[in-house]
Chain A
């Protein structure tokens, strides 16, 4: 049995049993972060805070929400929005956070792509991050079903239909997923389960993996510099905090994180109180009606780009393009053949690739919502083809890149 001494203080008592000093060092005071970073490096913390808000607001909503097709709509729009004290606030926080979390995820993702933070030892960070993206997508979609409005119902209908895999007509799978021929009670209850239990569990596990994956390769920095962490941290601990290239996670990095989070929260609560409409589609304030298809069915804004890759092609080709779009980002570390870790604008043709990709994704996003007619279909088709072409070209562009 291990030897324990009589504790001199509560701190000492805990330290002997839990090694809290050591944990504090490993997790905070001697978790070294490069100094050469900008506010985009705080997006991880912004995401953690947003996820916490989703979790807490979700717990409160869960106390009143009823996963029953006869009462779900009213439990949200009447009970929570009118009867429950501050129910409206929790719902607005939940809805806005669910939408804004994707804005931050996209910023976080494209920060990684821009600075090359997905390669040379950082592949697992990227892959676990993309798995988180998938998990958040599943969480967002399942949550969207719960108010059981018109968009819930018809988005559920359209998306589950995709699993029949086009001309393969595998309708059995669709029925299996729905638990019925159409979205109905079985469908709502299982998406409720996914939304409040299974997917959040997966998200929390993946967040753990994502953080752990960061530990060994360390965070990237603004110039993609490689340096000796032991040497730099020794310099810091010796008192040369100005000369060292690294800083402590806490309080150095944390103080900057917190400031960025504070500014973000102003933006966030501005949306919650004054500009929440974008996160709660008007069509979803009509109760679900299987006999009345809405004039325009579209997903939430963060799924529009991949929806538009599906839409301009014929059924089977569209599905294949859609499948391609879903997995291709995960493969980025292996499709980028250049060994350079540097900001995109110093990487020659890759800079053009990066900005084209951003513009193309925005074009796809816009066309995904606009009705597929006339000029909008044409732009959508070109944008979808460009998306695929950009990925096909990526290995060649990066192979030509000169080694730095």
Chain B
């Protein structure tokens, strides 16, 4: 009995210390930011029902494919990532094949009309220094309808959410600014295996050049995200993606406007990079615990047997 009281005292003081230096201290240092569940409540809802067929025409006529690849329908600008980034203001514009699934429709609609507003970086741009993506000024008809049509078109050509892998979501929404070294990803895409050193050096030099452009555009080279799942945690990443300004007011990082499903996939991809062995850990943990439980039972029985002669 006395031993249990002692154990209780030791446990009590250990837990108090643990609570103060871990959950409590981290709560004070990093105030909690609530997730808004990717509702994008600040953006207006689509009032018109879009028509994908009309949207296709507006999309082609509106000039989107001047800068954006749409690989799934074979529309390519013919430029590689570096040339495209250099031509269009610092960052390679995303391929729009799956944009209708990866990004929220309200966000897409707002982005088409006013990119700096949708991405929440209006503090960075002005009339003198406009956002590199020109807004869509309308094709002469009802602009609300036209925008809704384009969004409907993007949705119609995109793969369904089940077919979007975590890597696809990351690469499209984050990977053009952030490298992911541990997954073999550079801002220009997946790094190929090279047979000759000179080819690899040429590729690396191109990546450096691309990074220079992104640095100029963002003010700072966006960090490699290989270990972010460990250094920031899932909740931080999710709420940061949803609205970077809540964590880092004035940051140059744009809101990327992904859906809740895509955000989950992005976090999963980052977990694959930083906590690769989490599934293996769970399965081994179970076996180790079973082993230790049996070991403890035997240790207890041995102790009882030995101490029978002593008490």
* A258 and B302 contact, CB distance less than 8 A: yes
* B24 and A255 contact, CB distance less than 8 A: no
- Tell whether A371 pairs with B10 under 8 Å between CB atoms, given A88-B281, A273-B285: no
* A78 and B303 contact, CB distance less than 8 A: no
Tell me the complex Cα distance, A256–B3, Å. 13
Binds B, one of A170-178, A224-232, A282-290, A323-331: A282-290
* A283 and B276 contact, CB distance less than 8 A: no
> Using Cβ atoms and an 8 Å threshold, which residues of chain B touch A77?
182, 226-227, 230, 274
Smallest beta-carbon distance B18→chain A, Å: 7
> Using Cβ atoms and an 8 Å threshold, which residues of chain A touch B289?
266, 269-270, 273
* B310 and A259 contact, CB distance less than 8 A: no
Tell me the complex Cα distance, A126–B289, Å. 35
Partner of A40, one of B6, B13, B296: B6
Partner of B13, one of A270, A273, A362: A362
B274-311 contacts to A (CB < 8 Å)? 274, 276-277, 280-282, 284-285, 288-289, 292-293, 295-296, 299-300, 302-303, 305-307, 309-311
CB-based nearest B residue for A368: B21
CB-based nearest A residue for B223: A286
- Tell whether A265 pairs with B292 under 8 Å between CB atoms, given A301-B17, A369-B21: yes
- Please encode chain B, from 169 to 193, with 1 for each CB lying within 8 Å of some chain A CB and 0 for all others: 0000000000001100000000000
Say yes or no: is B61 at the interface (Cβ < 8 Å to chain A).
Answer: no
* A261 and B299 contact, CB distance less than 8 A: yes
> Using Cβ atoms and an 8 Å threshold, which residues of chain B touch A88?
276-277, 280-281
- Please encode chain B, from 245 to 262, with 1 for each CB lying within 8 Å of some chain A CB and 0 for all others: 000000000000000000
Tell me the complex Cα distance, A242–B307, Å. 9
- Tell whether A255 pairs with B311 under 8 Å between CB atoms, given A262-B296, A273-B281, A285-B231: no
Tell me the complex Cα distance, A38–B3, Å. 6
Interface size on A, residues (CB 8 A): 51
Say yes or no: is B14 at the interface (Cβ < 8 Å to chain A).
Answer: yes
Smallest beta-carbon distance B234→chain A, Å: 12
Tell me the complex Cα distance, A366–B307, Å. 41
Say yes or no: is B60 at the interface (Cβ < 8 Å to chain A).
Answer: no
Partner of A242, one of B293, B306, B311: B311
Say yes or no: is B42 at the interface (Cβ < 8 Å to chain A).
Answer: no
Main secondary structure of the interface of B (DSSP, over half): helix
Say yes or no: is A103 at the interface (Cβ < 8 Å to chain B).
Answer: yes
Smallest beta-carbon distance B218→chain A, Å: 15
Say yes or no: is A30 at the interface (Cβ < 8 Å to chain B).
Answer: no
Say yes or no: is A82 at the interface (Cβ < 8 Å to chain B).
Answer: yes
- Please encode chain A, from 241 to 275, with 1 for each CB lying within 8 Å of some chain B CB and 0 for all others: 11000010001100110110111011001100110
* A247 and B28 contact, CB distance less than 8 A: no
* A78 and B182 contact, CB distance less than 8 A: yes
Tell me the complex Cα distance, A251–B22, Å. 40
Tell me the complex Cα distance, A263–B296, Å. 6
- Tell whether A103 pairs with B295 under 8 Å between CB atoms, given A255-B307, A256-B303, A259-B303: no
> Using Cβ atoms and an 8 Å threshold, which residues of chain B touch A301?
17, 21-22
- Tell whether A304 pairs with B21 under 8 Å between CB atoms, given A82-B277, A371-B28: yes
Smallest beta-carbon distance B33→chain A, Å: 15
Smallest beta-carbon distance A139→chain B, Å: 21
Tell me the complex Cα distance, A301–B223, Å. 28
Interface size on B, residues (CB 8 A): 51
CB-based nearest B residue for A376: B28
> Using Cβ atoms and an 8 Å threshold, which residues of chain A touch B37?
none
* A258 and B303 contact, CB distance less than 8 A: yes
CB-based nearest B residue for A283: B231
* B309 and A241 contact, CB distance less than 8 A: yes
Say yes or no: is B134 at the interface (Cβ < 8 Å to chain A).
Answer: no
- Tell whether A262 pairs with B292 under 8 Å between CB atoms, given A252-B307, A255-B303: yes
Say yes or no: is A81 at the interface (Cβ < 8 Å to chain B).
Answer: yes
Smallest beta-carbon distance A365→chain B, Å: 6
* B25 and A370 contact, CB distance less than 8 A: yes
CB-based nearest B residue for A92: B281
> Using Cβ atoms and an 8 Å threshold, which residues of chain A touch B49?
none
> Using Cβ atoms and an 8 Å threshold, which residues of chain B touch A252?
306-307, 310
Smallest beta-carbon distance B92→chain A, Å: 25
> Using Cβ atoms and an 8 Å threshold, which residues of chain B touch A277?
22
* A81 and B276 contact, CB distance less than 8 A: yes
| Chain A interface residues toward B at CB < 8 A | 35, 38-40, 74, 77-78, 81-82, 88-89, 103, 107, 241-242, 247, 251-252, 255-256, 258-259, 261-263, 265-266, 269-270, 273-274, 277-278, 280, 282-287, 295-296, 301, 304, 358, 362, 365-366, 369-371
The 8 closest A-B pairs by CB, nearest first: A285-B231, A273-B285, A366-B20, A262-B296, A285-B230, A255-B306, A262-B299, A369-B25
30 A-B contact pairs sorted by A residue (CB < 8 Å): A35-B310, A38-B6, A39-B6, A40-B10, A74-B181, A78-B226, A82-B276, A82-B277, A88-B276, A88-B281, A241-B309, A242-B309, A255-B305, A256-B307, A266-B289, A266-B293, A266-B296, A273-B285, A278-B21, A280-B230, A282-B231, A285-B228, A285-B230, A285-B231, A301-B21, A366-B20, A369-B20, A369-B21, A370-B24, A371-B29
